[in-house]
Amino acid sequence: MSEFTETSVWTSQGRSSVALDVYLLGVVDFDAAMALQERLIDEVAERSDRLGTLIICEHPPVVTIGREGRITDLPLDTRDFTSRMMEIRRVDRSGGTLIHAPGQIAAYPILPLDRIGCSFVDFRNRLQKATVATAAELRVPSQLTQTPYGTTCRCGQFSWVGASVRDGVAHHGLFMNVSPVLDTVRLVRSTPDRVKISSLSMQRMEPVPMHKVREALMRHIADQFGYEETNPYTGHPMLKRTWRKVMQHA
C-alpha cells in the first residue's frame, strides 16, 4: 500500500478549499464508517479554510444508542439481536436509539461550524431542511419534528438527526429511510410512542431509486451549508472495509 505524504490531496495540508468533499461509499460496516469519520474530523479541525466533508453510505443491520437513548428502548432481549447478527453500539450523538439497515441512507456531514458561520442548533435544523427539500423533490410532502428531531410524512417518521461537536467540528448524522425492510428498522420502541416509523417508498407506494435520493440529498446538504462546489468520490484510501454475513428479517 502506498504511503500518503503531506502533499497528498487526501491530507489536510495538501490544499486550500471552500468545497464540500462527498464520499459515496455504498454499504459500509458501522465501525469502519465511524473510524473514517473520526479521521476526517481530525483533518477538518486542523484546517483554516471552509472545506467540509460528507459521507453518504448504508449500513448492515446495526443498533445505535445515542445520548438520550437507553437499552430499554429495545423491546427484544439483546440475545435476540445477537441471533439476528445485529450488533449494538453506544454512540456520542444526540438523539435516542435507532436501527440502521440497507435501504436507509446514512449521511455524515463533517463541517467546521465557526468557519461556515453555523451554530450547533443551525447544523441540526439545516439537516432537517435538507431532508424536507429532498423529499419534496421526490413528491413526498413532509414536515420537521423535534421529538425526536427528524422529518415525518403522512405515513410516519422517515428521517432522524443525531449530531455532536468535537474541536469545533460538527459530525454524526442524518438517517433517512428510503426502502429498508421496515420490520427490521421497527425493532425499537418509538419515542414518543405515537411516532410511527415509515419510509419514502412506503409513502409513495412504489420503489424509490437510492441513487436519486443520494444525489438530491448531497445537493441539498451542500446548498443548506453554502457550499457551491462539491467534489464527489466513490471511495477513500483510509476506509477499512470489513466483511460479514448480513441477515435481513422480513
The residue length of the chain stands at 250
Question: Could you give the CA distance from residue 117 to residue 137 in angstroms, rounded to a whole number?
Answer: 27
Sequence-distant (6+) residues with CB within 8 A of 1 are none
Give the burial string for 116-145 (b: 16+ CB within 10 Å, else e). Answer: bebeeeebbbbbbebbbbbbeebebebeeb
Task: Please name the residue that has the C-alpha cell 427490521.
Answer: 184
Question: Could you give the CA distance from residue 190 to residue 236 in angstroms, rounded to a whole number?
Answer: 35
CATH code for residues 20-233:
3.30.930.10
Nearest to 177 by CA among 138, 219, 146: 138
Nearest to 57 by CA among 31, 26, 36: 26
Beta strands in 147-240 (DSSP E): 149-153, 156-166, 169-177, 230-233
Residue 247, burial from CB neighbour count under 10 angstroms (0-12, 13-18, 19+): exposed
Q: How far apart are the first and last CA of the chain?
A: 41
Domain spans in the chain, listed from the N-terminal domain onward: 20-233
Give the type of residue at 148: P
Question: Could you give the CA distance from residue 90 to residue 227 in angstroms, rounded to a whole number?
Answer: 31
Nearest to 202 by CA among 171, 176, 234, 175: 176
Question: Could you give the CA distance from residue 125 to residue 144 in angstroms, rounded to a whole number?
Answer: 9
pLDDT of residue 8: 39
Cα–Cα separations (whole angstroms), residue 222 to 33, 92, 111, 131, 219: 20, 24, 11, 12, 5
For the chain, what is the radius of gyration of the CA atoms? 17
Q: Which three cell numbers stand for residue 212?
A: 436519486
pLDDT of residue 194: 60
Sequence-distant (6+) residues with CB within 8 A of 156 are 195, 196, 197, 198, 202
From first to last of its 250 residues, what are the pLDDT tens digits of the chain? 334 344 334 444 556 789 999 999 999 999 999 999 999 999 999 999 999 999 999 999 999 999 999 999 998 888 899 888 899 999 999 999 999 999 999 999 999 999 999 999 999 999 999 999 999 999 999 999 987 899 999 999 999 999 999 999 999 999 999 999 999 999 987 655 567 899 999 999 999 999 999 999 999 999 999 999 999 999 888 886 655 555 555 4
